[in-house]
Chain A
Amino acid sequence: MSAILECNSLTKKYASLTALNNINLSLERGRIIGLLGPNGSGKTTLIKLINGLLVPTSGTLKIAGNLPGTATKKVVSYLPEKTYLPDWMKVSETIDFFKDFYEDFDEKKAYEMLDRLHLDPQKRMKTLSKGTKEKVQLILVMSRKADLYCLDEPIGGVDPAARDYILNTIISNYNENATVLISTHLIADIENVLDEVVFIKEGSLMLHASVDDIRTKEGKSIDTLFREVFKC
Chain B
Amino acid sequence: MLNKLFKHEMKANARFLLPLYLILFVLSLINRVIIGLDIFDGALAIIPRFSIFAYIVSIIAVIVVTFIIMIMRFYKNLLSDEGYLMFTLTVESHQLIISKLLTAAIWIVSSVLAVFASLLLVFANPDSISEIWYQIRLGLTELDVIFKGRTTLLFIELAILAIFGLIHNILMIYLAIAIGHLFNGHKLLGSFVAYVGISMVMQTIISVLAAIVGSIFRESVTNVLSLPNFIFPIGIFTILILIVLYFFATNYIFRNKLNLE
Chain A: residues with CB nearer than 8 A to chain B? 48, 51-55, 70, 73-74, 76, 78, 80, 82-86, 88, 97, 100-103
B side interface size, CB within 8 A = 23
Binary per-residue interface labels of chain B (93-116) against chain A in the complex, 1 for a CB within 8 Å, 0 otherwise: 000000000000000000000000
B256 is an interface residue with CB less than 8 A from chain A: yes
Contacts of A86 in B (CB 8 A): 12, 77, 82, 85
Please state if A97 and B84 are interface contacts (CB–CB under 8 Å): no
B192 is an interface residue with CB less than 8 A from chain A: no
Contacts of A88 in B (CB 8 A): 12, 15
Q: Which residue of B lies closest to A97 (CB)?
A: B8
Please state if A78 and B4 are interface contacts (CB–CB under 8 Å): no
B92 is an interface residue with CB less than 8 A from chain A: yes
Given A52-B88, A76-B88; 9 other pairs, CB 8 A cutoff: A51-B88, A53-B260, A82-B84, A85-B85, A86-B77, A86-B82, A100-B8, A101-B1, A101-B89
B81 is an interface residue with CB less than 8 A from chain A: yes
B90 is an interface residue with CB less than 8 A from chain A: yes
* A/B interface sample: 12 pairs, CB < 8 A: A51-B87, A53-B84, A53-B258, A53-B260, A54-B258, A55-B256, A82-B81, A82-B84, A83-B81, A84-B84, A85-B85, A101-B90
Contacts of B1 in A (CB 8 A): 101
A-B residue pairs, 3 tightest by C-beta: A84-B84, A80-B84, A82-B81
Binary per-residue interface labels of chain B (2-25) against chain A in the complex, 1 for a CB within 8 Å, 0 otherwise: 001001100010010000000000
* Closest-CB distance, B187 to chain A (whole angstroms): 16
B91 is an interface residue with CB less than 8 A from chain A: yes
Please state if A53 and B87 are interface contacts (CB–CB under 8 Å): yes
Contacts of B77 in A (CB 8 A): 86
Binary per-residue interface labels of chain B (64-88) against chain A in the complex, 1 for a CB within 8 Å, 0 otherwise: 0000000000000100011111011
Contacts of B255 in A (CB 8 A): 55
Contacts of B84 in A (CB 8 A): 53, 78, 80, 82, 84
Contacts of A74 in B (CB 8 A): 90
Contacts of B12 in A (CB 8 A): 86, 88
Contacts of A70 in B (CB 8 A): 90-92
CA distance A82 to B80 in the complex (A): 10
Please state if A84 and B90 are interface contacts (CB–CB under 8 Å): no
CA distance A52 to B1 in the complex (A): 18
CA distance A78 to B4 in the complex (A): 20
* Closest-CB distance, B90 to chain A (whole angstroms): 5
Contacts of B8 in A (CB 8 A): 97, 100
CA distance A103 to B85 in the complex (A): 15
Contacts of B90 in A (CB 8 A): 70, 73-74, 101-103
Contacts of B85 in A (CB 8 A): 84-86
Binary per-residue interface labels of chain B (141-155) against chain A in the complex, 1 for a CB within 8 Å, 0 otherwise: 000000000000000
